[in-house]
Structure 1
């Protein structure tokens, strides 16, 4: 046994997966540079890059190359790499670096050159302060025979300086560096919840035979471990001895604690609520359910769609083509034709506007306003790409527990069955005894009593015992009270056992006994959220199919389905996290773009795999919130149909502008930029999320409403002022007039 453990330890030490935060990673055009840096290194076996979270995952031989050596190689390219420790999230500075601040201050001073001409030299100082990271990354890219956006920017800045447009050069540097900082600040949240996922299972386990605590990595298969009440199960296994109830909500989505006895399976990361159990391990720690879930999230985030693969294959040709195209624009300048200055500056404009990161920086103002307006209405949408994808959604899959339902017990029925004990007294006895328990059912019963202005008094309970899988016992006011499922009747020595099931149609039933006599009964259920049924109806009006994917029982799923007025079209119950991922894949293949709405850690893999992942902001786990693309801050599902309307309007505006291309050069045409910004802001706030005209609603009086939820009259009205946007030919003509007049 010892040799096997040593062999496994040596193998683990040899093949290591390391995580690196790359704050200097800008976009996918820099992925080839990272691969060219790392793949030639001895010991590096595989390199994966996750762009949204600025994360690089490297599988390497730790005996040949260490984590710090890999980070050092990346930092030589000024990628600001740092090793991420297990279970920790990366950190980002709250404020921009001193270099960015200095660049901004110097540029601001240079803008007063009209009053004092020598101030223009402050713009040169701003360029020198902010250009260093761009220049160093460009040098590394050239050495690796790679052309990326840093080279485009460096050429554009150099050209602007050579042309003595110092302020324009400083603007390029400042806006690019600020955009990089904002991106790194936003992406730092993309992995903040991963630490909770990776550390959900404890790092130590207690051996049942000796009581010794050991690292979970040293525990072999078929080892007996002990798990006490209130402890988290460290490794997947099967119960050998004992009886308990386990809270599996974080892993499977099961809304109620699950009774565990001999031969029951238990999972790492789930909570043993009460009772002592001995567990025989069935897997190694690195193959536990939590570890598999972590890998599923990583694979889903790093997997590339067909469009992404096409873009990646074109990236290596894109930058050279842009450089050649800008060179063509320089031909009239070199031939010294009339108005050479205009041709030279047009080449610089092409370099900046064609730069992928410049496009990210100068994202259409309509998108920016749409995101802000959505946020003000309780929707956090993580980027303009999400808005684009949201318009294409054809199916929305919902988790049940904590998403469609509140994820909490609610007392739906409570009655006294004895003429000698009134309801007030019964509630007082039950709530006082239950207040000494940490069971989720206990909280619901205590809250129910308080709704009747009955305050429980746990100090009046003389004796208190827990019977795992059955219920509890307490002595209060000299009376022996048993509370639990129908098995507690045998504990109370009752001659009559309730003939009702413990659960029926998704409702859990409980019973109260005074000695041997049944004196009360109650029912608990997980009720649907306010507005859930309305949200389902709204989605149907938008032509979107709905599905329910839950780890809960079939009865619980059908009970929720009934509360939703049978609006869900596809229902799958008793699912594990990997089952949800497979079903999401199937829905995407069969129906098209699929959104997943969830709140738990167990939903994270499906949220990452879906076309759009939507999490519940208030009740959702950290990893679900950070893995998702959209967060519902108020947990109101009715916000999602509104987000769909916002996305559809936003995409139509973008398409119309692409059909009639507009020009938004932020560095050379400031006056025109203002006009466009005002126009776009009006479109976005009024036509996208502000008025929500034509959004799906019960009012639908027009027969011209289409699947997108908008009538033609709305589409025309949404972009009515768009003709005010200055088009490319008009801008160039106007720009030439200004330059000629200035000359």
Structure 2
């Protein structure tokens, strides 16, 4: 049972996570709320039953973390402060001494069937085993709470009062032993998250000195060395050396990736061959691993819809059953029934069966196991509600560029329309302007110009983004505009009758100088190898697939032919148009997911029921945008995520059904004349164990199957913005991202050797006046 935490915290507030080992079920989570909510300075309390943690948003000036710990420990809840990213599990291989002693004495007491006086040993067994249960029960009653400990204390003392000493001792031992088993099982489920947190090593070797330092002391731009067989300790960039690296711990991709100078590497990845020196680009708490762990932990603290319903149901269920049990005990006694002992004993059995532990834990345990299994696959699902929604999606929309396609453009050709201008000048103007853009098209154009010996200018003035159309700026006093067909038509460069470019499968950009059309370029983008398979797998699951793209209809139809003719395609869409299409899909099909890059598709991702961002390892922007984040670019992870979500939802239903079925069965047996206290304890706690083990099956993912080769485009990790229309030159959102992009300027030594054309506007064409005359 968990509670949501507000995403935005007041500046004075602090979020602290506490380990509360005394939590065993949802009723004790309610006890935590009863203790903490009335305290001054506490804004919000969230309890994770399975993880046995409590996250509190509080004002440290009014109540400190240590004071919160003290308040919890007064109720014998075994609380302590936990640092984010650390899982505290019990390492006891055996139950504590009290439980063992209680069991041994119970075994001796069972020989009372042979030698009657041994029945008194049962009282010793109860006396040794019940103190912990009694303390927690008294703490709960002191706050007017009915939890499992209260119910068990009533059952035990009731059995003793009826003279069933052996029965009372059985209840005490079985309950204490079952709690230990449940704790061990919960720890196994939590171990999957602990393994995520232990991905990155705790120390790093400084390259210059060979000194070993704690990773938390490593600053940005520090050089660390990593050799074959070691894990990369920090997020950074390779500055010397080369290696093959296993990134499966983060991305779920089992194909090793080659890294060279300039390549990004992430903490937790394993160096398989070679030796590299890495320059740190993020602190420990900001690394990809840390962000992933934080997302998983935060996700565990968010309730799903099923979880919220079960919690509300249990809130009324337990008191209701307690009242029924009390009625069964009191009414026959008041009416002077003959066998009052039977009715009182029956009421005690109902109290034990009434415990909602298995029912309340049935959904959180499935959620936590599902989220942990997803994380190991390279999928971050940011909450139980998103996991549940993903299982129920009926339609899914894909962005095209960088999602279904590689997003790594190649220039097909570049043509001049104005013959009085040298082609090298157009190379120069294009590369100078595009060098300031963060679009993948820009990278392709700059590299293409360099391959022809042309370097971009460092002095571009008044660079600006033309929303939905392209970019413009002054290069050596020439106004250069580069954009899509919308820009070209608006400037009067083109008309459909006068000029036509075959755009089938091609992205086209138009170039103008001082408002005159001077040429165009065409770029190609390859469909991802696994795209068709991923789409087919989704369709097999009965999900409607649609492509939403800002590119031309011809380019979109080519993608459609390569992936599947039965896929609907919507082309030439601006970001706001994608939002409208998502709304239409939701109205027609129901729950709808959107797959994009998490930056340019932010409006559509937000409008969808489940936003899925792909290839986000190392990208904080994309990770924060979506509900589901794929750490790699393998599209096959998406149908896998849907399958996992459906499996987790099935586990939810199975666990709830099992919990209710066992209770109904024992209610029936009890009223049918076969009540048994010890059997009720075994059934109730046994159901808890079955629920946990059933959910843990989600963690048994086959790891032998590999994924496709890691997408090389994801290694570049540049900021990408989707094309607004057919040319793919929409930079609508880039203005706020310029600070994130390092201009693609070459080393100084290389620049001196490369050719740089003279400015056309400063002489080669006779200056501005000459140029005007030429075009006239």
Q: TM-score, normalised by structure 1?
A: 0.48
Larger Rg: 2
Q: TM-score, normalised by structure 2?
A: 0.47
